[in-house]
Amino acid sequence: MRNDERLRGGTRAGFAALRGEFLLAGVILLLVAFLGAKTDGFLSWSNLFDLLNSYAFVGIMAAGLLTVLISGGIDISFTATATVAQYVVASILVRYGESMGAPFGWIVIFGAAAFTGLLLGAVNGLLVHSLRVSAMIVTIATLNVFYGILIFVTRGKWLYDFPKWFADGVNVWSFTQGGATYSLSLAICALIAVLAFTAFLLNRTTLGRKIYAMGGNPEAATRMGFNLLGLRLFVFCYMGFLAAVGAVVQAQVMQTVAPNSIVGRELEVLAAVVLGGASLSGGGGTLLGTMLGVALIAILQNGLTLLGVSSYWHQIVIGCVILSSVSATAWNARNGAGRGVGIDVPD
Amino acid sequence: MPCVIELTGIRKSFGGVHALKGVDFSISPGEVHCLVGENGSGKSTLIKIMSGVYAPDAGEIRIDGKPCARLTPHESIAAGVQVIYQDLSLFPNLSVAENIGIRQYMEKGRRLVDWRRLRKSADDAMRRIGVSLDPDRPVRELSIADRQLVAICRAIAEDARLVIMDEPTASLTRTEVDALLSVVRDLQRRDLAILFVSHRLDEVMEIARRVTVLRDGEQAGVYDARELDDARLAFLMTGKQFTWGINRTSCEGNAPLLEVRNLSKKRNYADISFTLRRGEILGVTGLLGSGRTELALSLFGCSAPDSGEIRVEGTAVRLESNRDAIRAGIGYLPEDRLTLGLVLDQSAGDNVVLSIVDSLVGRGGLIDGRRCDATVREWIESLNIKVSDPVVPVRTLSGGNQQKVVLAKWLATNPKILILDSPTVGVDIAAKHGIFEIVKALAAKGIGIILISDEVPEVLCNAHRVLLMRRGRIVGEYRPDGISQKELAVKINAE
């Protein structure tokens, strides 16, 4: 009997925790139904795969940013990190690409990208920990420093003409539908791998749980004997690493590396993560929510394009969606808090 | 049976300041012990020595009778010493089970979470002290009392043998305190040692055997809990005698200052009527959740009542915001001075002039610095606020001095009516006396004061009349010479 009650209590708490995600999923379903009815191309395999390929890197970076937000930090500089990693990778490809060949080449470029991402992430982590200044300010500064150095060194040149193996990418699990062949590309595979690993990290490892704990109450984490420097270093390095992975994915999809293709989109990623319910004050947020947030923004942009709406309106619509979502959350929280208080005054 | 922990001749100083000057302390298994002293008497230093945070400069620490040269935080935990700080050190975003079993994450070489073992250790700990909380619920959704149980469960899960609790009853209602005491008795039966740390005569002393009193880093003695009462303890803690006379004067002949008629607000309070006269201190008492703070907020314009009338000096007023209330001559000292009453990182001086800064504007629309300084100095002197320099942040002042700064801020607005909501929470006995001296002097000048407090002696010793609130209604009115402390306490806690 008692166990029964406990079980029910448990699921109730579980559902309550996921309420935001249900809401978001509902909004996405409505949006999908609307776009499916109003446009020809939206509900098609080709559009789905287009969407997945072009937004995979946003999802990958969002997973990294979520981890940083949970820990109580924030990173604005990851787009600069990604662009630096892209230039490192592209330079290697242009110079040595042809001679390396497929399997070895992938190892080299992912290795080089990861090294760059980890290095720049470590710079952020060390600065945030030792300066004890808001991570927002520190990473806005490093965004400028990383990006400035990059432009100075590369003079903002576009890079393209990559070897064939890089253009072909990776394609697994091909299937034919209505005359066209679809397959899981490098971008989709990388997204799946990153999501699986991040979910495992956040929910199954002591490291992930310590990151949640630190975000929830840093003072208590110190008293508990957690190594805060190590944890901060880890989350910023993980962000840098995923920024670099996302950078390779984006470069492979676009087959061009340009200085302004990723920088400037950091707030879009942040918006997706916050839409997904992550708390800017640390300690809260789920990977599922984050991915729903990315999906909502991706579907909105894609849908508006298919509806033939001018791209200037996209930003206005997305801004309004974020505002209404944040207002709904705040309203919800205030009502939830208000309901408990009050006195039952007897008549 | 050897003592769980035994300290002899402990000395510790910080840069020339002697925090502890040769303190002895011991506690045996199954003992409930109280450590009391004013702020700055060395209580926290002593706790930190037992938890291994500080190393003593001199003295001996024995654990289970065995001397240990150097006690590290790690060894202290291994020896079973667990400190539950006043803020409880919980993780609000994590579940109850995770908060209880979090030590698992610190085990060497552990990379993956063993959710089953974590859940089991949480269930075991809860069963051992007979509480049942939903293990999946995030701690942020729990009441303070339940959070405290989670903190105790965590200590149990970590095989505590000595649990040190810092001010455990500060934010609990009487019913919650009783629940806590029954848990503590249970721990006692399991041979755990419990040390309560407090700066006042606490409810927990009902079940304590011995009380160690600290004063200025020295031991003022170890006493049998039964031989202590408020007055004696206050003397031991401060070295000063305080008089605890009651207020026998009456203000019935004075002109009415504030008249409240049939004030009601849904889910807050109902049918409140009373009159506050010039120079009167009107006590309002009742449990947390009796509607006393809700009423105060309405009188200060922060939550408009649904019906009823408020008159100030005979004129009906509508208080729709706190600006209206201030204009009507009403000041409000909030219950939570840290978040509502002070700008903690600003200086004491800036806090004092905060509410009158508009009137200190001189020529050219800028603040007149000289007049500002003069006002600050005047209040610091007249309220005897102990601050080395008015420019230091308020955060660094003691509780009593912080409260005086809040008081000065309101007095600067020259109010006719002052509402004091639990003005002495977290304030030392000596400072408490200082504050009430000021309050009485203000009343003597004709200010009407509403004193909200659930500390019975405080209300009975200072108020001219006491209103008792229960579940949103006034259920009794007493004169201090017509009811004893015990009787009033019983009435407050009656449901």
Q: Does domain B5-238 have CATH number 3.40.50.300?
A: yes
The answer to whether the CB atoms of B289 and A212 lie below 8 A apart is no
Q: Is the pLDDT of residue A127 over 90?
A: yes
Specify the 3-state DSSP secondary structure of A175: strand
Q: Which of A224, A225, A228 is nearest to A215 (CA)?
A: A228
- The DSSP element (H or E) to which B323 belongs, if any, is helix B322-327
**Alpha-carbon span B83 to B62, nearest angstrom:** 18
* Touching B: A residues 211-250, CB under 8 Å: 212-213, 215-217, 219-221, 223-226
**Cα separation of A8 and B441, whole Å?**
59
**What does DSSP say about strands B162-166 and B193-198: parallel, antiparallel, or unpaired?**
parallel
Give me the mean pLDDT over the A314-341 stretch: 73
Q: Which has the minimum average pLDDT: A111-115, A339-343, B183-187, B214-218?
A: A339-343
Q: How far apart are CA B4 and CA B26, in angstroms?
A: 8
Q: How many Å apart are CA B342 and CA B321, to the nearest integer?
A: 19
A1 touches chain B (CB under 8 A): no
- The pLDDT assigned to B482 comes to 87
DSSP B255: P
Residue A207 has pLDDT above 90, yes or no: yes
B137 and A CB contact within 8 Å = yes
Question: Which tens digit of pLDDT belongs to each residue from B168-184?
Answer: 877 677 777 888 888 88
Of the pLDDT bands very low, low, confident and very high (cuts 50, 70, 90), residue A2 is very low
For residues A110 and B14, the model is more confident at: A110
In chain B, which residues have their Cβ closer than 8 Å to the Cβ of A343?
267-269, 289-291, 294, 471-472
* A215/B73 CB distance under 8 A: no
* C-alpha distances out from residue B350 to B226, B242, B334, B373, B409, Å: 46, 33, 18, 9, 9
| CB of A208 closer than 8 Å to CB of A202 | yes
Residue B85 contacts A where some CB pair is shorter than 8 Å:
yes
User: Biggest alpha carbon distance in chain A?
Assistant: 88
Contacts of B382 by beta carbon, 8 Å cutoff, 6+ apart = none
For residue B361, the SS3 value is: strand
Tell how strand B307-312 and strand B281-285 pair up: unpaired
Q: With CB atoms and an 8 Å threshold, state whether A344 touches B138.
A: no
3-state secondary structure B10-54: EEEEECCEEEEEEEEEEECCCCEEEEECCCCCCHHHHHHHHCCCC
Cβ-based burial of A177 (10 A; exposed 0-12, middle 13-18, buried ≥19): exposed
Instruction: Give how far B365 is from chain A: nearest CA, Å.
Output: 34
B114 touches chain A (CB under 8 A): no
- Residue A338's pLDDT is 45
| Residue B29, C-beta contacts closer than 8 angstroms, at least 6 positions apart | B1, B4, B161, B191, B192, B193
The amino acid present at B237, given as its one-letter code, is M
Is 90 exceeded by the pLDDT of residue A235? Answer: yes
Residues from chain B contacting residue A215 (CB–CB below 8 Å):
93
Quick one: angle between helices A228-254 and A186-204, nearest 10? 170
State how far the Cα of B184 lies from the Cα of B162, in Å rounded to an integer: 12
Domain boundaries of chain B, sorted by first residue = 5-238, 256-493
Nearest CA in chain A to B138: A13
Q: Alpha-carbon distance A52 to B123, whole Å?
A: 44
Q: Tell which residue, B279, B258, B331, has the closest CA to residue B440.
A: B279
Q: Which whole-number Å values give the CA distances from A255 to A86, A166, A193, A315, in the listed order?
A: 11, 8, 22, 26
Contact of A290 with A66, CB cutoff 8 Å? yes
Q: How confident is residue A310, by pLDDT bands cut at 50, 70 and 90?
A: confident
Residue A10 has what pLDDT?
A: 39
> For B290, what's the count of Cα atoms within 13 Å in the CB-facing half-sphere?
25
**Could you tell me the pLDDT band of residue A12, with boundaries at 50, 70 and 90?**
very low
From chain B, pick out residues whose CB is under 8 angstroms from the CB of A278: none
Q: What domains lie within chain A, and their CATH numbers?
A: 21-322 (1.10.3470)
Is residue A76 a contact partner of residue A139, using CB atoms and an 8 Å limit? yes
Query: Could you give the CA distance from residue A297 to residue A192 in angstroms, rounded to a whole number?
Result: 19
Taking a C-beta distance cutoff of 8 angstroms, is the pair A218, A73 a contact? no
Structure token pair of residue B353: 């002039």
Distance of alpha carbon B133 from alpha carbon B146, whole angstroms: 8
> So what's the pLDDT on residue B403?
86
Mutation for testing the A interface, residue in B47, B90, B91, B298 having most A CBs under 10 Å: B91
Interface test with A, best of B84, B99, B102 (most A CBs within 10 A): B102
State the sign of the Cα–Cα–Cα–Cα dihedral B35, B176, B130, A224. negative
Number of neighbouring beta carbons within 10 Å of residue A55: 22
Q: Do B5-238 and B256-493 come out as alike in CATH topology?
A: yes
Mean local confidence (pLDDT), A98-114: 90
Kindly determine whether residue A217 and residue B92, on different chains, have CB atoms separated by under 8 Å: yes
- The string of DSSP letters for A120-133 reads HHHHHHHHHHHH-S
User: What radius of gyration, in Å, describes the C-alpha atoms of chain A?
Assistant: 22
Produce one character per residue of B90-120: b if its CB has 16 or more CB atoms within 10 Å, e if not.
bbbbbbbbbbbbbbbbeeeeeeebeeeebbe
Residues 3-62 of B with CB under 8 A from A: none
Residue A9 CB partners (closer than 8 Å, separation 6+): B134, B136, B137
Q: Identify which of A186, A331, A314, A298 has the alpha carbon closest to the alpha carbon of residue A247.
A: A186
At which residue do the structure tokens 């150097």 appear?
B70
- The per-residue pLDDT for B1 is 67
Q: How far apart are CA B97 and CA B118, in angstroms?
A: 7
Determine the Cα–Cα distance for residues A214 and A208; give it in Å rounded to an integer: 10
Instruction: Number of A to B CB contacts under 8 A, please give it.
Output: 99
- Cβ partners under 8 Å of residue A210, min gap 6: A221, A226, A231, B105
B263 contact A CB<8A: no
Interface check for B87 against chain A (CB to CB < 8 A): the answer is yes
- Which is nearest to B102 in space by CA: B157, B165, B27? B157
Least confident of A15-24, A194-203, A235-244, B347-356: A15-24
Q: Read off the pLDDT of each residue in A330-345 and give the average, rounded to a whole number.
A: 62
Residues of chain B falling short of pLDDT 70: 1, 171, 200-204, 243-244, 495
Q: How many CA atoms lie within 13 A of B238 on its CB side?
A: 18
- Ranked by mean pLDDT, the top range of A162-166, A178-182, A203-207 is A203-207
pLDDT at A231 over 80: yes
Given the structure tokens 């399991």, which residue do they identify? B190
Upper half-sphere CA count for residue A172 (Cβ side, 13 Å): 6
Residue ranges of the alpha helices (H) in chain A? 2-17, 19-38, 45-70, 78-100, 102-131, 135-154, 164-168, 186-204, 206-216, 218-224, 228-254, 266-275, 287-306, 311-340
Edge-to-edge order in the sheet of strand B315-316: B269-277, B256-265, B307-312, B315-316
Mean predicted confidence (pLDDT) in A237-263: 94
DSSP string, A64-102: HHHHHHHTT---STHHHHHHHHHHHHHHHHHHHHHHH-H
Q: Higher model confidence: residue B247 or residue A269?
A: A269
CA–CA separation, A339 vs A344, rounded Å?
12
Q: What is the DSSP letter of A172?
A: E
pLDDT score of A11: 42
Residue B192 CB-half CA count within 13 A = 27
Q: How far off is chain A from B275, nearest CA to CA, in Å?
A: 22
- Decide: A140 and A74 in contact? Cβ < 8 Å: no
Rg (CA), chain B: 25
- Does residue A335 carry a pLDDT above 70? no
Mean pLDDT of chain B: 87
- Would the CB atoms of B291 and A207 count as touching at under 8 Å? no
The CATH number of B256-493, from 3.50.50.60, 3.40.190.10, 3.40.920.10, 3.40.50.300, is: 3.40.50.300
Whether B460 and B245 have beta carbons less than 8 Å apart is answered as: no
Question: What pLDDT does A74 receive?
Answer: 96
* pLDDT for the residue A341: 52
Is pLDDT at A333 greater than 70 in this prediction?
no
DSSP state string for B415-467: -SEEEEESTTTT--HHHHHHHHHHHHHHHHTT-EEEEE-S-HHHHHHH-SEEE
Residue labelled with tokens 């609000």: B92
